[in-house]
Amino acid sequence: MRTSLLSDWLAQRLDKASAEPAYRQLQRLLREAILAHELPAGRKLPSSRMLSMELGIARNTVIQVYEQLAVEGYLLAGTGSGTFVADSSPDSQILGNAATDADGETGRLSQRGQRLVASAGVSRRQWGAFVPGVADVTRFPAAVWSRLQARHMRNPQPELLSYAPPGGHAPLRVALADYLRNARSVRCEPEQIIITTGIHQSVDLAVRLLCDPGDEVWTEDPCYWGVRSVMQASGLSLKPIPVDQEGICPSADDLARPPRMMLVTPSHQYPLGMVMSLARRRMLLEFARQRDCWIIEDDYDSEFRYANRPLMSLQGMDDANRVIYVGSFGKILYPGLRIGYLVVPPALAEPFAVALAELYREGQLLQQAVLADFIAEGHFGAHIRRMRNVYGARREALLHEISRRFGQDVPVYGDEAGLHLVASLPGQVNDRQLAHDALAAGIATRPLSGYYSHPDAAMRGLLLGYACVQDEDIARHFSTLARVMEDHLQLR
């Protein structure tokens, strides 16, 4: 483009009726022309006086644009010599003749990234019938929470609006330690509690500090896909260990080659629901002590047991300081709160607190302060008792509908605790296709086979979450799901 034509080119593109200011339009147009090489390096631009007259805009506007583009490196301005397009082309001597990607792809993922995305279990549907593992957020005591939060915000302390100290908000750690000692028989002091954003971050922190890439980790088979993805993304070698009615069940060959770490859900196996037996717990603890391996105890929903009192934690039985206890408030209060925690052995408390602050620069201190008050003033315990009754009634309603519709054709597992149950299906049923068809009918559920390391050889079933379905809607929504199930079970 010749300099003499630049004014005409700009005039055709400047929209004086636009809400975008003239100086921004002019900046954008000149940048685009330079980057597209329509204005090549070394080309002299019209003077600010001439260009302002030809475009009908203020000279100061043109001067402002020229100065800004000079600062950004697009233009060179010399006193008395005029304004020129700068040479901003990449240095070919630096780049050399490096080969380009043969297929021209951009944004290609690493092998680790490809594996993570390909095996991801996350769903776009996070609420409604019968999404498993989601609390009824409509029952959250928002008025109480808002009052506690307003109390802090009336005269906010600067510390609560800054980054979190290592380990998290001290009053929350004190309140949580007291709760865990009484409710879960966890043996801990406040200093052993590390506040995180949830189970995923807790596990990620633990494996970063206690494992090296390539270390072997035992996971239950089936297990929660989220923590499995966290561990795989950390470069660990995962070994799925089958579960039986007593929990994780390593063979003699497995025990002969100890892992660096194992991840278990002893109080309510996820997703099948069995409770780890006392004998199996003692065996794992002794094995970890003798073979110097770590146990992560994921205690994700043990507050909600319907047949008896919550069980003692595995950590509470640990005399050798080999158990790291993790939990969160997502299933008790609401998932969006994003507050979880680890309880680590005393010797690990300081390293974990420092690493958390170093890696993640934690915040949300205001929310942590509100949660500390919520626990200390008794609202937390009251909410758990109230929701245990609510969820218990919904569990009974869903069990009734399954029995009424299918009788013994669809056995149920894992309904004694938590926020979901498993509806078992015959081995020939494709539960992944069934879940897909159910979603098309407006019902969200998860296929049991997706939680196994080898889905094609897995048990078949559906995870049905009942916590976030209103009592009066359970029968109607299950009727919709039942029609889809009947097609796959060929019961019609």
Bigger pLDDT: 379 or 163?
379
pLDDT at 39 over 80: yes
Each residue's pLDDT tens digit, 467-477: 999 999 999 99
pLDDT at 400 over 70: yes
- pLDDT score recorded for residue 113: 79
pLDDT at 85 over 80: yes
- pLDDT score recorded for residue 97: 59
pLDDT at 261 over 70: yes
- pLDDT score recorded for residue 117: 80
What are the distances in angstroms from CA 282 to CA 2, 131, 242?
A: 84, 34, 18
CA distance 41 to 47: 17
User: What is the average per-residue pLDDT within 235-242?
Assistant: 95
Which residues have CB under 8 Å from 240's CB, separation 6+? 218, 219, 220, 221, 223, 452, 453, 454
Confidence band for 146, pLDDT divided at 50, 70 and 90: very high
- pLDDT score recorded for residue 16: 86
User: What is the average per-residue pLDDT within 275-301?
Assistant: 95
CA distance 31 to 10: 12
pLDDT at 245 over 80: yes
pLDDT at 161 over 90: no
Q: Report cis status (omega within 30 of 0) of the bond before 130.
A: yes
